[in-house]
A and B are shown apart, each in its own frame.
Chain A
Amino acid sequence: MPPMTRPAADVGVHDLPALLALVGDDEELMVEIIELFLREYPRLMGGIRDAVTAGDVRALQFSAHAMKGSVGNMAAPRAYKAAMDLETYARADQLRPARDAAKSLEHELSLLHDALASLVARRTG
């Protein structure tokens, strides 16, 4: 089973060994995909915000699922769980808890962004 499939809630913002395993221990590729993620996730989060504002649970489910896949690639258990919770609420048509889950996800993404940007800076600096 892939290390990120069932993330534990108490693991850190991201799991570097798991991230390296995803890219076959290729650090250059790891930096490249982190940079791709840092460009990709704001667009996905924008889709989530729009769906929450519109109260469109179907669009929210789609966007949350895409975000879950994207943060899964970063071996980021907390952000992954937040995206999974959001997808679950959207699928269950529960908009109110979905709004809270979206806020929680945004917070986790902010932490993840800082951690990944710092990691890239260390590897490229």
Chain B
Amino acid sequence: MRIVLADDSDVTRRILSAALARFGHEVIAVADGEQAWAAYEQHRPPMMILDWQMPGLDGLDVTRRIRGAPEGADVFVLMVTGRDAASHLTDALAAGVDDYLSKPATAEHLAARVRIAEVRIEQTSARRRAEEALAKAQWLAGIGHTALALQHEINNPLMALLTHAQLLSEDAEATPDVRAGVTTIMAQARRIADVVRRLKELKEPQAVEYLGTSRMLDLGARRS
């Protein structure tokens, strides 16, 4: 797992980096809060390990920024700090920190916390996948309902329109202009019928870009 680690102490950074690398993680180690935020924006890691007290942006500031960023809610933030009073823990949780490890942190304690993070990250990822699948299922169901409604509301008047147009086209007294107009009406009515048929038979609906700003259902129609 890719992890951004921020601590202004060279010693702490080296100890934690070495432990994380030993557990098989890819570590991006930085020395202050500004660099931590920049590393987050560049790498979008699933986990951040932050010291609380750092020059400039501190660990809580960085956490708040992450929580305010798109998809920042899913990032697991572990605070590693020498502040271990109950009030500090409350402040950390209020800022959006997920877990908390007192300094100095042994490799074993860090390993346990990272394992907790991995489980939580996988659960969050599974929940997101389920939400996306549900949203797609709802979208498909909506298309199915729409297709049925169109079939019912459009096909019946369309059939009446085509029947009457056919009768007009067979009228021996109709002028050439009227015949041409009726032919156009019948062609366009059949086109509408074809759209309704394709909507009903759609197997794997896809949305495509429309006019650059919107998206529409792709019915695979040839447009004239």
Contacts and interface: CB of A to CB of B under 8 A. Distances in A.
Q: A and B from one assembly?
A: yes
Interface of A: 1-5, 21-24, 26, 29, 32-33, 36-37, 39-40, 62, 65-66, 68-70, 72-75
Given A5-B102, A23-B18, A70-B9, 11 more contacts: A2-B102, A2-B104, A2-B109, A22-B104, A23-B15, A24-B19, A29-B18, A62-B53, A66-B53, A69-B53, A72-B104
Contacts of A69: 9, 12, 51, 53, 82, 103-104
A40 B10 CA distance: 7
Contacts of A21: 106-108
Give the dominant DSSP class at A's interface: helix
Interface residues of B, number: 23
Contacts, number: 72
Interface string B21-45: 0100000000000000000000000
A22 B18 contact: no
A37 B11 contact: yes
Interface of B: 8-12, 14-15, 18-19, 22, 51, 53, 82-84, 102-109
A70 B12 contact: yes
B15 A33 contact: yes
A33 B14 contact: yes
Given A24-B22, A69-B82, A72-B82, A39 B105 contact: no
A22 B104 CA distance: 8
Contacts of B18: 23-24, 26, 29
30 contacts: A1-B102, A2-B102, A2-B105, A3-B106, A4-B104, A5-B84, A5-B102, A21-B106, A22-B15, A22-B104, A22-B105, A22-B106, A22-B107, A24-B22, A29-B14, A29-B15, A29-B18, A32-B14, A62-B53, A65-B82, A65-B83, A66-B8, A66-B53, A69-B9, A69-B51, A69-B53, A69-B104, A70-B9, A73-B15, A74-B11
A93 to B, nearest CB: 18
Contacts of A3: 106
B96 to A, nearest CB: 22
A109 B39 CA distance: 34
B177 to A, nearest CB: 91
Nearest to A44: B9
